[in-house]
Amino acid sequence: MNAARRYLAVGLLAIAVALWAGLPLIHTGRLGHIAFDLAIGCAVLGVARLIAEAAAPNLPSRADQLYLPVTSRIWLRGLSTLVAVPWPQALIVLAVGLEALHSRRPWHTAVLGVVLICYLITLHLTESNSRLTVFRPQLPLLVTGAALTALSVGAAALPAGPAGSGSGWLAVLAAIAAVVAAALALPI
Amino acid sequence: MLSAGPQKKPITWQLTGHARRLLTLAIAGLVITVISRRAEFAGLAAPALLMLAARQGGRPEVVNVEIDVPTAPLTEGEPSQALVRITGQQRAGQVQVRLIANPWLTAGDTEAVRVAGGGSSGGWFRLPFVPERWGVRSIGTVEVTLHDRWRLEESKLTISLPKVTCYPRPALLESQVVLSRLPSRLGEHPSRLAGEGVEFAGVREFVPGDRQRRINWPATTRRGSLQLNIFNAERAQVTVLLMDVSTDIGEVGESTADLAVRAATGIAVRYLAARDRVGLISFGRRVDWIAPAVGRRQTERILHLITEKSASGHPTDVVSELPHAALPPGALVIVFSPLLNLRLVEALRGLRERGFATIVIDVLRVPKVGGLTRTKALADLATRVWRMEQDAIRFSLRELGIPVVAWDGKSSLDEPLAPYTRRPVVNR
| C-alpha angle B152-B23-B16 in degrees, rounded to nearest 5 | 30
Asked whether B44 and A116 are in contact (CB, 8 A), the reply is: yes
Tens digit of pLDDT for each residue in B166-212? 999 999 988 888 887 777 677 777 777 777 777 788 888 888 888 88
Give the list of residues 6+ apart from residue B425 with CB closer than 8 angstroms, or none.
B177, B178, B179, B180, B332, B357, B359
Q: Which residues of A touch B93 (CB under 8 A)?
A: 134
Helix (H) or strand (E) holding A50: helix A29-55
Instruction: Name the maximum alpha-carbon separation found in chain B.
Output: 131
Within 50-69 of B, beta carbons closer than 8 Å to A belong to 50-51, 53-54, 56
pLDDT band of A166, cuts 50, 70, 90: low
Better-predicted residue by pLDDT, A168 or B387: B387
Query: In this complex, do A120 and B22 lie within 8 Å of one another by their Cβ atoms?
Result: yes
Query: In this complex, do B51 and A104 lie within 8 Å of one another by their Cβ atoms?
Result: no
CA-based nearest residue in chain A for residue B32? A100
User: How far away is chain A from the Cα of B377, in angstroms, using its nearest Cα?
Assistant: 24
Q: Which residues of A touch B39 (CB under 8 A)?
A: 106, 152, 155-156, 171-172, 174-175
Query: In this complex, do A168 and B37 lie within 8 Å of one another by their Cβ atoms?
Result: yes
Query: In this complex, do A188 and B54 lie within 8 Å of one another by their Cβ atoms?
Result: yes
Asked whether B262 and B306 are in contact (CB, 8 A), the reply is: no
Query: In this complex, do B151 and A152 lie within 8 Å of one another by their Cβ atoms?
Result: no
Question: Which pLDDT score is estimated for A160?
Answer: 58
- Which residues is B232 bridged to in the sheet? B194
User: How far away is chain A from the Cα of B261, in angstroms, using its nearest Cα?
Assistant: 30
Helix (H) or strand (E) holding B48: helix B40-53
- What pTM was estimated for this model as a whole? 0.71
Q: State how far the alpha carbon of B18 is from the alpha carbons of A130, B15, B152, in Å.
A: 13, 8, 7
Q: Can you list the domains of chain B with their CATH numbers? A: 2-167 (2.60.40.10), 186-235 (no CATH), 238-421 (3.40.50)
Query: In this complex, do A89 and B149 lie within 8 Å of one another by their Cβ atoms?
Result: no
Nearest 10 degrees: CA dihedral of A79, A80, A85, A87? 30
Q: Which residues of A touch B45 (CB under 8 A)?
A: 113, 179
- ipTM for the predicted complex: 0.87
Tens digit of pLDDT for each residue in A64-119? 777 788 888 888 888 888 888 999 999 999 999 998 888 878 888 889 999 999 99
Please state whether beta strands B113-116 and B124-131 pair in parallel, antiparallel, or not at all (unpaired): antiparallel
Asked whether B124 and B83 are in contact (CB, 8 A), the reply is: yes
Quick one: which of A116, A89, A130, A86 has its CA closest to A21? Answer: A116
Strands, sheet with B286-293, edge to edge from the N-terminal-most edge strand: B314-315, B286-293, B277-283, B238-244, B332-337, B357-362, B404-406
Q: Which residues of A touch B50 (CB under 8 A)?
A: 141-142, 144-145, 148, 179, 182-183, 186
Low-confidence stretches of chain B (pLDDT beneath 70): 1-5, 57, 89-93, 108-122, 184, 309-320, 367-374, 427-428
Please state whether beta strands B357-362 and B332-337 pair in parallel, antiparallel, or not at all (unpaired): parallel
Tens digit of pLDDT for each residue in A6-56? 899 999 999 999 999 888 877 777 888 899 999 999 999 999 999 988 887
DSSP string, A108-153: HHHHHHHHHHHHHHHHHHHHHT--GGGGGGGHHHHHHHHHHHHHHH
CA-based nearest residue in chain B for residue A146? B47
User: How far away is chain A from the Cα of B27, in angstroms, using its nearest Cα?
Assistant: 9
Q: Which residues of A touch B53 (CB under 8 A)?
A: 141, 183, 186, 188
- Which phi and psi angles does B2 have, rounded to 5°? -135, 135
pLDDT band of A122, cuts 50, 70, 90: very high
Helix (H) or strand (E) holding B277: strand B277-283
Query: In this complex, do A183 and B53 lie within 8 Å of one another by their Cβ atoms?
Result: yes
Q: Is any Cβ of chain A less than 8 angstroms from the Cβ of B172?
A: no
Which residue out of A2, A61, A92 would a mutagenesis test of the B interface target, given it has the greatest number of B Cβ atoms within 10 Å? Answer: A92
Q: Which residues of B touch A144 (CB under 8 A)?
A: 50
Query: In this complex, do B28 and A92 lie within 8 Å of one another by their Cβ atoms?
Result: yes
Please state whether the peptide bond connecting residue B70 to the residue before it is cis, i.e. omega within 30 degrees of 0. no
Residue B417: Cβ-neighbour burial (10 angstroms; 0-12, 13-18, 19+)? buried
Tens digit of pLDDT for each residue in B307-325? 886 555 566 666 667 788 8
Within 83-112 of A, beta carbons closer than 8 Å to B belong to 86, 88-89, 92-93, 96-97, 99-100, 104, 106, 109-110, 112
DSSP string, B337-350: E-S--HHHHHHHHH
Query: In this complex, do A151 and B149 lie within 8 Å of one another by their Cβ atoms?
Result: no
Within 131-160 of A, beta carbons closer than 8 Å to B belong to 134-135, 137-138, 141-142, 144-146, 148-153, 155-156
Asked whether B322 and B297 are in contact (CB, 8 A), the reply is: no
Query: In this complex, do B47 and A124 lie within 8 Å of one another by their Cβ atoms?
Result: no
In this structure, how many other beta carbons lie within 10 angstroms of the beta carbon of residue B34? 15
- Which residues is B131 bridged to in the sheet? B105
Query: In this complex, do A145 and B147 lie within 8 Å of one another by their Cβ atoms?
Result: no
CB pairs under 8 A between A and B: 167
**Amino acid (one-letter) located at B191:** S
Provide the 3-class DSSP secondary structure of residue A102.
coil
Q: Is any Cβ of chain B less than 8 angstroms from the Cβ of A129?
A: yes
Question: Which pLDDT score is estimated for B395?
Answer: 93
Give the list of residues 6+ apart from residue B297 with CB closer than 8 angstroms, or none.
none
Query: In this complex, do B50 and A179 lie within 8 Å of one another by their Cβ atoms?
Result: yes
- Rounded CA separation B416/B295 (Å): 27
Please state whether the peptide bond connecting residue B424 to the residue before it is cis, i.e. omega within 30 degrees of 0. no
Query: In this complex, do A186 and B22 lie within 8 Å of one another by their Cβ atoms?
Result: no
